[in-house]
Amino acid sequence: MAMDFNQLQELLAAIAATDIAELTLKSANFELTVRKGIPLAPIGELVAPAPVTPIGSAAPTTVTVSESTTTTVTTPAATPVEKNWVDVKSPMVGTFYHAPAPDEPPFAQVGDRVRLGQTVCIIEAMKLMNEIEAELSGEVMEVLVENGQPVEYGQTLMRIKRD
């Protein structure tokens, strides 16, 4: 499967216009993975705060070609309240849930300590329950979404103070 630069641009534009969060194309010669809104920077690496993104603007798009070529196209993101606070953002459109069931305790509340990979909430999308995991260890400082509230792609769900 050969793909020239113009075809790649058309593919990225088509994906950006949809709710697709991740797409992988594989052939004998290459592998292409496109992820929207998922940073590739290591957890320990801090990203400088950027200005607030206007409503309706495009989300970050990262293109990774397995032959060690990575291109990231980003738009400004909301600035965390404190520089060592990290926003946990919704990777998809759906419904936010604090707990695995209505009669069970929340995965993470303000003041709770979370560890890397720990489930902090669920986003239901198209009848699928998607567990959202912490991308760092730290303390939950804010939960910005109410249980059962609809969320948008890239919306900040909570903020965690980095250890």
Residue 79 lies in a domain: no
DSSP 50: -
Q: How many structural domains compose the chain? A: 2
**Host domain of residue 139:** 85-162
How far is C-alpha 112 from the chain's CA centre? 21
The string of pLDDT tens digits covering residues 7-39 is 777 777 777 777 777 878 777 777 777 777 655
Task: Give the residue from 111, 100, 103 showing the smallest Cα distance to 158.
Answer: 111
Listing from the earlier edge strand, what are the strands of the sheet with 150-151? 128-133, 119-125, 94-97, 150-151
User: 43 pLDDT band (50/70/90 cuts)?
Assistant: very low
The string of pLDDT tens digits covering residues 83-112 is 889 999 999 999 999 999 989 999 999 999
Asked if the model's pLDDT at residue 59 lies above 90, the reply is no
Q: Which of 73, 98, 127 is the last residue of a domain?
A: 73
Residue 129 lies in a domain: yes
* Residues of the chain above pLDDT 90, percent: 46
pLDDT for position 94: 95
Q: Per this entry, what is the length of the chain?
A: 163
pTM: 0.51
Q: Which of 73, 99, 124 is the last residue of a domain?
A: 73
Say yes or no: 39 and 101 in one domain: no
Q: Please state, in angstroms and rounded to a whole number, the distance separating the CA atoms of residues 138 and 112.
A: 8
pLDDT for position 38: 52
The string of pLDDT tens digits covering residues 65-84 is 444 444 444 434 444 467 88
